[in-house]
Amino acid sequence: MTAIQLIGRSAAAAALVLGTALLPATAHAEGGAARLTLTVHDLHGETTPATTTLTCSPAGGSHPTPAEACAVLDQVSGSIADVPTQAPGTACPLIWRPVAVTATGLWNGTPVDYSGTFANDCVLRSELGVVFDF
């Protein structure tokens, strides 16, 4: 075997090993990633809807506290409807000022399409906490 053939085979073997080593990390990053668009809309129309993005695994996006929001969603496998009340002892005013929220995107490859309406902003924050706190 010539030196050129040996170098060529060594380079090919190195590329194969490197590619194999990177494959599981890439597959996990794509399979374990979450990308959500979250919106809060004041139904009285006095403010414009607030929208943010949230990515998890790794935490990021335009959400102000992505790590905390991802931690809450990790507990329920991304199912916003299953998020336990985040601040159960909160005394919210009995004022009807409804807010609607939506979440769309993917959580670990599973589509997310959530919408909900809450009596007011305080109730929203006590129920879903940091997820919609932006």
Whether pTM exceeds 0.85: no
Q: At which residue do the structure tokens 């004041």 appear?
A: 42
First to last CA, the chain: 65
**Tens-binned pLDDT, residue by residue, of the chain (134 aa):** 544 444 444 444 444 334 433 333 333 334 458 999 999 999 988 789 999 999 999 999 999 999 999 999 999 999 999 999 999 999 999 999 999 999 999 999 999 999 999 999 999 999 999 999 99
How far is the C-alpha of 65 from the C-alpha of 59, rounded, in Å? 9
What is the predicted pLDDT for the residue at 71? 97
99-107 and 34-42 strand pairing: antiparallel
What is the predicted pLDDT for the residue at 35? 97
What is the predicted pLDDT for the residue at 21? 38
